[in-house]
Amino acid sequence: MTVSAHSRRAAKLSQDAVFAPDFREEPYWWTAAMPEAAQDGAAVLPDAADVVVVGAGITGTVAALELARSGLDVVVVDSQRIGEGAARRNAGFIGRTLKRSVAWLTSHSGQKHAIEVYRELDRALKGVERFVGREGIDCHHRTCGRFIGANSQSHFRGLVDDLEETRRSLGFDYSVIEPENVRSEIASDRYHGGAVIPDLGSIHPGLYHKGLVERAVHAGVRFHDRTYVTAIEENGARHNLHTSRGAIAARHVVITTNGYTGAELKWHARRVIPFSGFIVATELLPEELIDKVLPQRRTYLDTKMNIDFIRPAPDSSRILFGGMTGTKSASALPLAVPLRDRLVDILPDLEGVRLSRAWTGFCAGTFDFMPHIGRNGNVHFGLGYNFAGIPIGTHFGSIIANRILGQGDTASVFDTGRFPTFPFYRGRPWFVPLAMRYFDWHDRRIAKE
Ligand SMILES: Cc1cc2nc3c(=O)[nH]c(=O)nc-3n(C[C@H](O)[C@H](O)[C@H](O)COP(=O)(O)OP(=O)(O)OC[C@H]3O[C@@H](n4cnc5c(N)ncnc54)[C@H](O)[C@@H]3O)c2cc1C
């Protein structure tokens, strides 16, 4: 169904049947952590700083915090309010998952490389827990485990093979959920078995990012919201950044704009592929209903190319559901009904449940499906998280800070010196909806296998 067909269907349904009285088109997380106008937002942009960070998401804020703690003068600029990007819009799943599996990487670039990639992802995963603990950020961090439901019998076999290969190579644990036991994990008949990865976690992303910003401000970082960088010029050992609120010079620049990277950052825009993600939150549900449908209260996703994902909210009795990633729609509203239909299709006990929130945000893919960290002179970047930016963004933010400070952990397997682009690609990903339609076609086909 097209977006306009979805809109017509939504219009036909009674508004009251779909939307709870408290419905808002806004991320659920903003109830506890509304994006902020920065304390310094009204202040004049300074002429110079040691480091200017472009993009106040997770990566940029972690880098800024670490740099300021080491005594550097750090300014963070963001074209929106602080926290208005994906940092406070995501689903809060914390994993070590990439589109490229251990088996795929082993066959394409060798076992040593595959193991290095997944070891670093594991460091990033564990790093979030350590970071949250060290900083004392109250953000509902939980090692809840993740259930992965197989969408077909062949996917079930592939999933188990893949996890077994990962256990053999890296020691990461998992348990198989046979088809007849799926209901011990999720009240759904949609899956042909699955697996649980016990050490993956979840977080309240709004509170996590809010906690990061508070600590960065306390460490002396100056945030400037609604400050849009239009160009970066090299000027000897310094860089001049032109912004919508004046110019600022810096010795080091950090680009952490991810899915919001625009054509003004030419080199970076040519290498990331922005695409939209969509999430809805249900109205308040009885606790017993959540215990019935998601008895282990984990995070849940499936084995499709274009995944659906489910989790309970950590701070109220609602269920969050995401899917239809990459659909061409500037707003989540036209997708609210189809997303609710999909959720009910997976969890029929939720029939009749209404929605309290629907929202969208930008992620960034890359042409090689890998995240990238690197530098061009003194312009550092961490970009292209392919839906896993909480752990990798936190990890890259800290590595970028160490690189500028010349201390600590600075190595990354994701710094390959090769960040691929595509001829004539300028950052306008016209092909994403087509790719997503192909993924949907593929997903419907594999469901029959
Ligand atoms: C719907 C959705 C669900 C997701 N779910 C998960 C999940 O469950 N787990 C997970 O790990 N990841 C998830 N992600 C991905 C994760 O949120 C992102 O990878 C991560 O937040 C992005 O990195 P960031 O936080 O560093 O940047 P962002 O928060 O995206 O911030 C980038 C900022 O750069 C600013 N900017 C851009 N250009 C300029 C400019 N020229 N001048 C000034 N500022 C600029 C933007 O305003 C923006 O605020 C999800 C993303 C979305 C959208």
With a cut of 80, say whether residue 205 has pLDDT above it.
Answer: yes
pLDDT for res 93: 98
| Stretch 439-443: mean pLDDT | 72
Contact 413, 113 (CB under 8 A): yes
Of ligand 1's atoms, which has the minimum distance to the CA of residue 360? 1
Report the pLDDT averaged over residues 98-121: 94
| CB-count exposure of residue 133 (10 Å: 0-12, 13-18, 19+) | exposed
Q: Work out the pLDDT band at 2, boundaries 50, 70, 90.
A: low
Q: Which atom of ligand 1 is nearest to the CA of 277?
A: 1
Amino acid (one-letter) located at 304: K
Q: Ligand 1 centroid to 80 CA: how many Å? A: 12
Residue 10 has pLDDT above 60, yes or no: no
Instruction: Please check the confidence at residue 1 and state whether its pLDDT lies above 60.
Output: no
Strand partners, 312: 319
Task: Give mean pLDDT, residues 362-379.
Answer: 94
Ligand 1 in contact with 200 (CB < 6 A)? no
Per-residue pLDDT, 4: 59
Q: What is the mean pLDDT of residues 297-302?
A: 97
State yes or no: pLDDT of 58 exceeds 90: yes
Q: Which helix (H) or strand (E) holds 202?
A: strand 201-202
What pLDDT is attached to residue 449? 65
Span 106-135, average pLDDT: 96
**What digits encode the pLDDT tens for the residues 216-264?**
999 999 999 999 999 999 988 899 999 999 999 999 999 999 999 999 9
| Cβ atoms within 10 Å, residue 379 | 19
Q: State pTM to two decimals.
A: 0.95
| Residue whose structure tokens are 């809840």 | 144
For residue 236, what are the contacts with CB-CB under 8 A and spacing of at least 6?
none
Distance 389 CA to ligand 1 centre (A): 7
Cβ of residue 83 lying under 6 Å from some atom of ligand 1: no
**Is 228 near ligand 1, meaning CB less than 6 Å away?**
yes
Other CB atoms within 10 Å distance of the CB of residue 406: 7
Report CA torsion sign: 341, 345, 347, 351.
positive
- What's the confidence (pLDDT) of residue 425? 87
Q: Which whole number is the average pLDDT over 416-434?
A: 85
Cα 351 from chain centroid (whole Å): 28
Residue 252 CB–ligand 1 contact under 6 Å: no
* pLDDT classification of 437: cutoffs 50, 70, 90: confident
Ligand 1 atom 32: the closest Cα is on which residue?
A: 257
Nearest CA to ligand 1 atom 27: 57
Instruction: Give the model's pLDDT for residue 12.
Output: 59
Average pLDDT for residues 261-278, to the nearest whole number?
A: 94
Rounded to an integer, the average pLDDT of 289-317 is 96
Q: What mean pLDDT, rounded, does the chain reach?
A: 93
Lowest mean pLDDT among 142-146, 383-387, 401-405: 383-387
Per-residue pLDDT tens digits for 306-318: 899 999 999 999 9
Amino acid letter at 208?
Y
Residue in the block written with tokens 């912004």: 243
pLDDT the model gives residue 282: 98
Confidence of residue 166 (pLDDT cuts 50, 70, 90): very high
pLDDT band, residue 430 (cuts 50/70/90): confident
Atom of ligand 1 nearest to the CA of 309: 8
Confidence of residue 148 (pLDDT cuts 50, 70, 90): very high
Please give the pLDDT value at position 20: 96
Q: If you measure from the C-alpha of residue 129 to the centroid of ligand 1, how many angstroms do you get, rounded to a whole number?
A: 20
Distance 375 CA to ligand 1 centre (A): 19
Nearest 5°: phi and psi at 41? -55, -35
Predicted confidence band of residue 403 (pLDDT cuts 50, 70, 90): very high
* The pLDDT of residue 219: 98
Cβ of 389 closer than 6 Å to ligand 1, yes or no, is yes
Find out whether the beta carbon of 256 lies less than 6 Å from any atom of ligand 1. yes
Pocket probe mutation, ligand 1, options 99, 257, 325, max atoms within 8 Å of Cβ? 257
Rounded-to-integer distance, Cα 232 and Cα 213, Å = 24
Q: What percent of the chain has pLDDT over 90?
A: 82
Which residue has its alpha carbon closest to ligand 1 atom 1?
A: 277
Report percent pLDDT > 70 for the chain: 94
CA distance 329 to 311: 23
What would the mean pLDDT of 416-445 be, rounded to a whole number? 80
CB contact at 8 A, 193 and 177:
yes
CA–CA separation, 286 and 380 (whole Å)? 48
Closest atom of ligand 1 to 260 CA is: 37
Complete domains list, the chain, with CATH = 32-142+201-271+368-418 (3.50.50.60)
**Is pLDDT above 90 for 441?**
no
